[in-house]
Amino acid sequence: MSQEPAPPPDVEWVKVSGPDALAPLDRHWIRLARVALLAAAVLIAWRILAWQEDSYQLAAAGAPAAQTMAGSMVTAPPIPETPVPTAVPVVVISPTPTPTIAPTPTPTPPPTPTPKSHTVQAGQSLSQIADAYDVSMDAILSLNNIPDPNNLLIGQVLILPPEAEVPDEAELPATYIVRPGESLSNIAVALGVTLDELMAANEIEDPDLIYAGQELNVPGGGS
């Protein structure tokens, strides 16, 4: 035979009212509310600290950021960089060089030739000197302003005309043969040496004591 189920126990409902009715809430819900408030405070503080740290990092990197109400980070759009204009090459136009004009060289005047001259020796006459240099007496007189051709002084320097032929020392012979009518002073003039040099080279004391055919040593001749 089947056994009948036992009847449910009787439940007794008790109505709680008055000052003691909040005692269970104070033990449970208020404790839970305190824990929730503490957790919310910790969460808010953590989000504030995290937002400040992110702001410092973004500020150091140069990227501005804004904190939304929900705590999400909104990054500001990047500022477009202003394009740097490309440097335009500057073309320097060189001026056309001005041709340098070479100065015209000033011609150097030829040196003035030293005038030929003759020093009058003892016993020389103007005619002998003119014959020795193959010039005229009038040319010597006009160049030296000599009023009297017979009044010459020993040691007087006479300027000779440019066409006067002066014997070259390098062409002098070693010896000279006296010809008839020649004097020692005339021979000295013809050879281009002084009378004293010719007398010393031949040991002649008196210039008038020479004769035709006499051989004279020429000073500096034969070199």
Domain 115-165 belongs to what architecture? Roll (3.10)
Asked if 142 and 133 touch (Cβ cutoff 8 Å), the reply is no
Per-residue model confidence (pLDDT) at position 174: 83
Domain 115-165 matches domain 167-223 at the CATH topology level: yes
Indicate the pLDDT class of residue 6, thresholds 50, 70 and 90.
low
SS3 17: coil
**Would the pLDDT of 170 be above 60?**
no
Domain range annotation of the chain: 24-72, 115-165, 167-223
The per-residue pLDDT of the chain, averaged, comes to: 74
| pLDDT tens digit sequence for 106-156 | 777 666 666 788 888 766 788 888 888 889 888 898 889 888 888 888 788
Angle 121-134-167 from CA coordinates, rounded to 5°: 65
**Would the pLDDT of 73 be above 70?**
no
**Would the pLDDT of 204 be above 90?**
yes
The one-letter amino acid at 203: E
Q: Which of 9-18, 118-127, 157-166 has the lowest mean pLDDT?
A: 9-18
- Name residues whose C-beta falls within 8 Å of residue 122's C-beta, 6 or more positions apart in sequence: 154, 185, 195, 207
Domain 167-223 belongs to what architecture? Roll (3.10)
Element (H, E) at 66: strand 65-67
> Which pTM value belongs to this model?
0.34
The rounded distance, in Å, linking the Cα atoms of 48 and 43 is 9
Per-residue model confidence (pLDDT) at position 76: 54
Nearest to 175 by CA among 209, 137, 221, 142: 221
Per-residue model confidence (pLDDT) at position 182: 87
